[in-house]
Amino acid sequence: MKERTLSIIKPDCVSNRNAGKVIDILEEKGFSIVAMKKIKLTKKQAEGFYIVHKERPFYESLCTFMSEGPIIAMVLEKENAVADYRELMGATNPKEASKGTLRAMFATDIERNAVHGSDSLESADFEIGYFFNALEILQ
Ligand code: IDP
Ligand code: MG
């Protein structure tokens, strides 16, 4: 089944000028970009996005990082997009990420790990709606 998932190129990866490489790989791997925008989140907007993590010890630092500079948010479409994009991203900690994954290639550490991807169809619905309205997404 064709699915849609939310991808974010995080501030570290945008400021390192690796965004184009990430987008190139996404297209090579068969993901279609059905929406895309470059924005800088406020700390409050980052907190809202990561609300599920609000009790985690890294929440405060994560939200500061995610609002330090521009990000590129994209809606990706493909068969099995949620799981396939999680696999392409690799493990949260780049030290554990398999060779060839985006995090193995572009992440610095467990926090500054280059990319985000929705972890389920349910999260994808919430996360896509957080960044895009219906008019901004190709039908
Ligand atoms: P995920 O992005 O692989 O789904 P999550 O557990 O959902 O990982 O965590 C969200 C984000 O929070 C991670 O991508 C990373 O930027 C950051 N993060 C996760 N665990 C840690 C940690 O132990 N220390 C610092 N930052 C973390
Ligand atoms: Mg997650």
The model's confidence at residue 61, banded by pLDDT at 50, 70 and 90, is: very high
**Helix residue ranges per DSSP H, 29-135:** 43-49, 59-66, 81-89, 102-106, 121-131
Cα of 66 from ligand 2 centre, angstroms = 13
Cα dihedral: 63, 12, 119, 54 (round 10): -10
What pLDDT does 134 receive? 96
In a domain, 114, yes or no: yes
In a domain, 139, yes or no: no
CATH of the domain at 79: 3.30.70.141
In a domain, 98, yes or no: yes
In a domain, 21, yes or no: yes
pLDDT, tens digit, 9 for 90 and up, residues 34-43: 999 999 999 9
**Where in the sequence is the domain holding 23, given as residue range(s)?**
2-133
**Mean pLDDT value of segment 13-20:** 98
Element (H, E) at 25: helix 19-28
Whether 113 lines ligand 1, by a CB cut-off of 6 Å, is yes
- In the residue annotation, 116 being an active-site residue is answered as yes
In a domain, 62, yes or no: yes
Cα of 86 from ligand 2 centre, angstroms = 9
What pLDDT does 51 receive? 98
* Residue labelled with tokens 């610095």: 108
In a domain, 138, yes or no: no
Q: What is the pTM of this model?
A: 0.98
Q: How many domains does the chain have?
A: 1
What pLDDT does 34 receive? 98
In a domain, 44, yes or no: yes
What pLDDT does 47 receive? 98
Residues whose CB falls within 8 Å of the CB of residue 2, separated by 6 or more in sequence, listed in order: 77, 78, 79, 81
